[in-house]
Amino acid sequence: MLRIALQKSGRLSDASLKLIKECGISFTNGTGKLKTVADNFPAEFLFLRDDDIPRYVADGVADVGIVGENVVVEDRSAVTIAQKLGFSKCRLSIAIPRGESYQGIESLQGRHIATSYPNILGDFLKKNNIKATIHEISGSVEIAPSIGLADAICDIVSTGSTLMSNGLQEVEVVFHSQAVLIQTPTLSNEKQKLLQKLLFRIEAVQNARNNKYILLNAPNEVIPKITEILPGMKSPTILPLAMEGWSSLHSVIQEDQFWEIIEQLKAAGAEGILVVPIEKMIY
Ligand SMILES: Nc1ncnc2c1ncn2[C@@H]1O[C@H](COP(=O)(O)OP(=O)(O)OP(=O)(O)O)[C@@H](O)[C@H]1O
Ligand SMILES: O=P(O)(O)OC[C@H]1O[C@H](OP(=O)(O)OP(=O)(O)O)[C@H](O)[C@@H]1O
Ligand SMILES: [Mg+2]
């Protein structure tokens, strides 16, 4: 059985559970139960504090785990990133009181910086030849400057609203993070096969999220032009409509090219364009 460590509750939990579910793996989890076995996949789930996940995976207590890349890098545990998962995206940034002058990174020379990420911050400062004092605190980092604990902070930023409500301005981005699937350095052959199976499913889910299925109608004479615009997995499917001289084209487009392609299709003469989500996608 593959032992999978997930965050018990927090910023990663919902998206981690959603991904597992979309991979077709289900389990029943009673309230407060910290360990459960999947109903339809040889896997056992452990629900942990996110900070503990890299160490558990490094020690082989869990075979794989889902955790923020920031925590993996900070922890310096001997784990491998098997797959970036694309959710819980955030950055680790240095921030100073709003309105204070800042002339680039040299302004941090000799200052006191509060953070929960002393290793990542330490590496960043060293790389930039900045000598500053790091104060390690485990939470509510944004409060530090206003209570005289530090001149600056280094903490997680997503929308920036926590910085804003605490009168701080972001001045340096230290690290970009997202949720990752980590694996223990040594896995038995059996477990390696299970992990491959899981990774195959994750890839199918991610491909589906990044693509949309598109259907449209077009007069036959513009089909070559539309085929050129629509990349598709191989090439578009073309089906005749009951109405003489018209066809229906089906294809797959990438989410990030979506609006641009729709405009081109309309300009080329496409009508009745439907765009629908894909549930799984295997190349
Ligand atoms: N505002 C945010 N937006 C997006 N991702 C975030 C945000 N805050 C944190 N994350 C990511 O989610 C991870 C978990 O954050 P969370 O706040 O749940 O941690 P925690 O409070 O330490 O949880 P735990 O109780 O498990 O120790 C972080 O390590 C980071 O990768
Ligand atoms: O830029 P923002 O969108 O405001 O997000 C950043 C905040 O989110 C996280 O805290 P969270 O809300 O998870 O609370 P926590 O401190 O209890 O982990 C993080 O520690 C920041 O404080
Ligand atoms: Mg934590």
CA of 75 to the centre of ligand 3 (A): 12
Per-residue pLDDT band at 258 (split at 50, 70, 90): confident
pLDDT value for 32: 78
**DSSP secondary structure, 205-217, as one string:** HHHHHHEEEEEEE
Mean per-residue pLDDT for 172-181?
98
Residue 59 main-chain phi, psi, to 5 deg: -80, -10
Q: Which ligand is nearest to the CA of 68?
A: 1
pLDDT value for 218: 97
Using the atom order of ligand 1, give the atom closest to the CA of residue 157: 1
The CATH T-level fold of domain 210-277 is: Alpha-Beta Plaits (3.30.70)
Widest Cα–Cα separation across the chain: 78
The CATH T-level fold of domain 90-176 is: D-Maltodextrin-Binding Protein; domain 2 (3.40.190)
Mean per-residue pLDDT for 108-122?
98
ipTM of the complex model: 0.96
pLDDT value for 177: 98
The CATH T-level fold of domain 2-87+179-187 is: D-Maltodextrin-Binding Protein; domain 2 (3.40.190)
CA of 50 to the centre of ligand 1 (A): 8
Q: How far apart are CA 90 and CA 71, in angstroms?
A: 12
Provide the 10 A C-beta neighbour count for residue 211.
19
The residues lining ligand 2, judged by C-beta closer than 6 Å to any ligand atom, are 11, 139, 142, 155-162
What token pair was written down for 146? 């206003």
Q: Which residue has 């089909």 as its token pair?
A: 223
Mean per-residue pLDDT for 189-199?
97
**In the predicted model, is pLDDT for residue 31 greater than 80?**
no
**How is the chain split into domains, by residue range?**
2-87+179-187, 90-176, 210-277
pTM for this model (two decimals): 0.91
Q: Calculate the average pLDDT of the chain.
A: 95
- 41-70 pLDDT tens trace: 999 999 999 999 999 999 999 999 999 999
209 burial class (0-12, 13-18, 19+ CB within 10 angstroms)? middle
CA of 12 to the centre of ligand 1 (A): 6
